[in-house]
Copies of this chain bind each other. A is one copy, B any other.
Amino acid sequence: MNKFTSIQDVPNLQELLTVARDCKQQPFANKHIGTNKTLGLLFFNPSLRTRMSTQKAAYNLGMDVIVMNVGSDSWTLETRDGVIMDGSATEHIKEAAAVMGEYCDILGLRTFAGLVDKQLDYSEDVLEKFIRYSGKPVISLESATRHPLQSLADVFTIEAHKTTTRPKVVLTWAPHPKALPQAVPNSFAEWAIAMNYNVVIAHPVGYELSGEFTRGASITHNQDEALHNADFVYAKNWSSFHNYGTILSHDKGWMITAEKMSCTNNAKFMHCLPVRRNQIVSDAVLDSPNSIVTEEAGNRVVSAQAVLRTMIESLA
């Protein structure tokens, strides 16, 4: 595995889950394999879980870690080709990526959707250029359109809790005061579908995700219907893909409440965090024993460690 940006980069998902299980059970059993390997973590945006869990995963493997807040710790980057750099950007991504590739064995990159130019966001311009110019294996720490380390942690968590072979997994839109990217729902959908779960996606009219991520899922505008008999409820806000980056609804009726959870099959509640309480989900649900968001976040160490371990083994 020489990059990890989406499920398409995973040669064998079941094998990766097996490695993840092993990392969970014996986190320090492979502490030697990262010796003399440096992981560079580059953040264009704030991060808590990703930043901490990926560092922890690297330490568990004995790696050295260098964390950079790109743009505040270092320089602002130009990403366009052929421009005369007489503006505010002080360095081109070609040089920045190449140089970071000199210093690190594996690079992790966090970048968000701008939510203005759909084509630019969905081309994954920054991520793709980092891969091209760094010359080193690159892990997406969330990109404009996907969040694969989160999705791997999500399916790992579902595997640990599922009580049937093919659980009903509902991804439901929920309201939020700000326009958010589609990265998490896109990514969760494609991983959950790849796991062959019974995936149902519920959202208001106009919130359809790009079809490339949702092929194989049932899509409905009726949240109640979706939640019926669900085994897992994955709530998340996103802004419109078709009317790109806009908020089409603030409908509080889509918030996940205890009443709604009562129609499910005693479903586990999931969210990638950070979550806005009493907007996305009520306190009662989040504080209930059925909420597994903390364990899900804890499994971010497991997913990062499984990916790092697999990558290091590919390097050798």
Which one, A45-53, A117-125, A184-192, is touching chain B? A45-53
Q: For the complex, what is the distance from the CA of A223 to the CA of B68, rounded to whole Å?
A: 38
- CB neighbours of A277 from chain B (8 A): 78, 83-85, 92, 94
Q: Does A164 contact B (CB under 8 A)?
A: no
- The reply to whether the CB of A73 lies closer than 8 angstroms to some CB of chain B is yes
Cβ of B278 and Cβ of A91 under 8 Å apart? no
| Inter-subunit contact A52/B69 (CB<8 Å) | no
Q: Are A85 and B301 within 8 A (Cβ)? A: no
In the complex with contacts A95-B274, A273-B95, A278-B83, A103-B52 CB distance below 8 A: yes
Interface size class of A (residues with CB under 8 A): 35 or more
**Complex contacts, A103 vs chain B, CB 8 Å:** 52-53, 56, 298, 301
User: Do the beta carbons of A91 and B275 come within 8 Å of each other?
Assistant: yes
At the interface, yes or no: A240 with Cβ under 8 Å from chain B? no
Whole-angstrom CA separation of A58 from B290 in the bound complex = 36
Question: Please, what's the 1-or-0 string for A62-76, where 1 marks a CB less than 8 Å from any CB in chain B?
Answer: 001010111011110
Inter-chain CA distance A68–B73, complex, in Å, is 10
Smallest beta-carbon distance A141→chain B, Å: 13
Question: A9 on the interface (CB 8 Å rule)?
Answer: no
Q: A38 an interface residue at 8 Å Cβ cutoff?
A: yes
Cβ of A143 under 8 Å from chain B: no
A103→B58 CA distance, assembly (Å): 12
Please encode chain A, from 22 to 55, with 1 for each CB lying within 8 Å of some chain B CB and 0 for all others: 0000011001000010101001001111011101
Residue of B73, B98, B283, B298 touching A69 (CB-CB under 8 A) = B73
Is A289 engaged at the interface, CB distance under 8 Å to the other chain? no
A36 cross-chain contacts in B, Cβ below 8 A: 27-28, 31, 60
Cβ–Cβ contact A46 & B72, under 8 A: yes
Q: Are B66's CB and A38's CB within 8 A? A: no
With a cutoff of 8 Å between Cβ atoms, the chain B residues found around residue A96 in the complex are 48, 274
Decide yes or no whether A177 CB sits under 8 A from chain B. Answer: yes
Extra pairs beyond A56-B64, A102-B301 (18, CB < 8 Å): A36-B60, A48-B68, A48-B74, A56-B103, A75-B274, A78-B277, A81-B283, A83-B277, A86-B279, A91-B274, A91-B275, A92-B274, A92-B275, A94-B277, A95-B286, A102-B294, A102-B297, A103-B298
| Interface residues, chain A, with chain B CB atoms under 8 Å away | 27-28, 31, 36, 38, 40, 43, 46-49, 51-53, 55-56, 59-60, 64, 66, 68-70, 72-75, 78, 81-87, 90-92, 94-96, 98-100, 102-104, 177, 273-279, 283, 286-287, 293-295, 297-298, 301
15 contacts between A and B (CB under 8 A): A48-B68, A48-B75, A52-B99, A53-B103, A56-B66, A78-B277, A83-B277, A84-B278, A85-B276, A86-B177, A86-B276, A95-B273, A95-B275, A98-B294, A99-B294
